[in-house]
Amino acid sequence: MISNSEALDILQQADLIRTEHEVNGAVAGVAAAVNAALADVHPLVLSVMGGAVVFTGQLLPLLNFPLDFDYVHVSRYGSNRQGGELHWKVEPRENVRGRVVLVVDDILDEGETLAAIKQRVLELGAAGFYSAVFADKLIGRPKAMRADFVGMELPDRFVFGFGMDIHGAWRNLPAIYAVKE
């Protein structure tokens, strides 16, 4: 956790890379694609805490079909800027058995976390697996997996806002910022 003044300094020095308008358009685009693909299957939506909470909260009201909701909590980052060992805080529950599952996450970096969630959900007997990410980071190398639905692509920089944090701060921003290089 950082102090209020440190958080304000980070934001003041950061680059705005996607506006609130662009963010809202990306969410609407994902919703349209998910509506087209999953309207007839009554999926179980699993939100990946805590980064996906903002994306999930704005996506769900735009989905025009019945669904069930739950969450998982897994992280490779903690307070670090680079991914490390996978830590499950809340694993998928048995309620995935026989269900089509849509996992909603904030950002796809290397794809390791999403791949681990997919593996676990399928091990628990899900009938199908889809993934929606708000952002796909362009890292310039192969990823462990690709998402089925992507809101927007982001450069390979440390980004924050719209659910993504920097040292625990700024998940609440409606736009996307990147740390100065």
| Tokens coding 115 | 């791949």
Q: Residue 76: CA atoms inside 13 Å, Cβ hemisphere, count?
A: 16
> Do the domain assignments include residue 11?
no
Check residue 82 and give its pLDDT: 54
> Do the domain assignments include residue 113?
yes
Cα 75–chain centre separation: 11
Output the domain CATH number for residue 28: 3.40.50.2020
Of the candidates 105, 109, 136, 165, the residue annotated as catalytic is: 109
User: What is the residue range of 22's domain?
Assistant: 18-74+83-178
Check residue 84 and give its pLDDT: 60
Say whether 15 is catalytic. Answer: no
Check residue 81 and give its pLDDT: 52
Q: What is the pLDDT along the chain (181 residues), one digit of tens a residue?
A: 899 999 999 999 999 999 999 999 999 999 999 999 999 999 999 999 989 999 999 999 999 999 999 999 987 655 555 556 778 888 777 789 999 999 999 999 999 999 999 999 999 999 999 999 999 999 999 999 999 999 999 999 999 999 999 999 999 999 999 998 8
Check residue 147 and give its pLDDT: 97
Q: Residue 132: CA atoms inside 13 Å, Cβ hemisphere, count?
A: 29
Check residue 121 and give its pLDDT: 94
> Do the domain assignments include residue 28?
yes
Our count of domains for the chain comes to 1
